[in-house]
Copies of this chain bind each other. A is one copy, B any other.
Amino acid sequence: MSGHIILRDVAQAAGVSMRTASRVLNNDPRVADATRRRVQDVIRDLGFVPDSAARSLRAGTDATIGLVVESVDDPFFATLVGAVELAASEAGRSVLIASTHRDPARERTLVEQLIRRRVAGLILAPTAGDHSWLQPVAAATPVVLVDRPADGVDADLVGVDDRAATARAVGHLASHGHRRIAYVGDHPRVPTSLARLAGYREAMAARGLDVPGDLVRADCPDPRSAADATRKLLAGQAPTAIISAATRCSLGVVPALHAERRTDVALVSFGDFAMADALQPGITVLDHPAGTVGLAAVGRLTARLADPDLPVLTTHVPVRLIQRGSGELTA
């Protein structure tokens, strides 16, 4: 009576039956305006809120969105999560988060957990590898992929055009006279990384620029290995410019360049990061718009929840190139 207010209390207080109260709650038109107002007033006064567990049980679904990312503790995903949470709360939905830490088995477990929690929909940044197990899930529960496609699943995708953006970075550097442009990135088995590497290679080829094997270090999943790769690049016939294909990589490349006092080497980072403008020189970046991606993903998910028969769509959010100095200098 005191702590917990349920629909029955509302009905009693408003002097109507539960049936009518329920109708008001669900905007059923078969309620007289006067009655509707009276019930709504009581709902406000009593602070009644429908029990989501009961609703979820009855309806077989829930207002919650499941959000599965690689790691919340990563600047890109942190921003993404923030945007998703904000957009979701504006749509009256809660967000359950989970991190895969790049473990496909964990990813699958997490997704299954969320599904049986009957989430309304899923926003998922898939790990690498086959995702055909996801197809039946996606058929039953709306799924929006973010940042990268998933192998073997046909679902909405919101991301950026990694290939074109990376090609743009190459173009930028080339137009500043660079010909020996190295690439430091994550493993190409991550689709995003693969696309970036492809964009790099294509753009280089399009300009007739050579890409000897030792210029490409696509095996850096973390800052430490990126720093190693950078040191090795500098030790050989050093490039005049480097494209760091992920923020995570830049966090290794930049310290390495500074430690070796080789800030004369041009750099474009795929992904902005705090303080990138405080360094000398400021780091020129492709701004990976995590917030915009998150927002668009919620938008798409909401649309699909409203109409499950929408055609599958891939959305590309634009990527800006922010010049800050590190990509414009020449050795």
Contact = CB atoms under 8 A, between A and B. Distances in A.
Interface of A: 3, 49, 51-54, 56-57, 62, 64, 71-75, 78-79, 81-83, 85-86, 89, 94-99, 101, 110, 112-114, 116-118, 140, 251, 254-255, 258-259, 273-275, 277-280, 291
B94 A117 contact: yes
Contacts of A94: 96, 98, 113-114, 117
A81 to B, nearest CB: 5
A64 B96 contact: yes
A117 B255 CA distance: 46
B72 A81 contact: yes
A274 B273 contact: yes
Nearest to A117: B52
Nearest to A275: B275
B86 A99 contact: yes
A73 to B, nearest CB: 3
B116 A52 contact: yes
A114 B85 CA distance: 14
Contacts of A254: 275, 278
B98 A97 contact: no
A68 B121 CA distance: 22
Residue in A53, A86, A255 whose Cβ sees the most chain B Cβ within 10 Å = A53
Given A75-B78, A251-B274, A273-B275, 6 more contacts: A57-B57, A75-B274, A94-B117, A96-B96, A258-B280, A259-B278
Residue in A85, A114, A118 whose Cβ sees the most chain B Cβ within 10 Å = A85
A73 B79 contact: yes
B72 A82 contact: yes
Contacts of A118: 51-53
A85 B99 contact: yes
Contacts of A110: 89
A73 B62 contact: no
Residue in A78, A112, A114 whose Cβ sees the most chain B Cβ within 10 Å = A78
Contacts of A255: 275, 277-278
Residue in A52, A54, A110 whose Cβ sees the most chain B Cβ within 10 Å = A52
A310 B258 CA distance: 51
A53 B62 contact: yes
Given A54-B57, A254-B278, A99 B113 contact: no
Contact of A96 (B3, B95, B275, B278): B95
Given A98-B94, A274-B275, A53 B49 contact: no
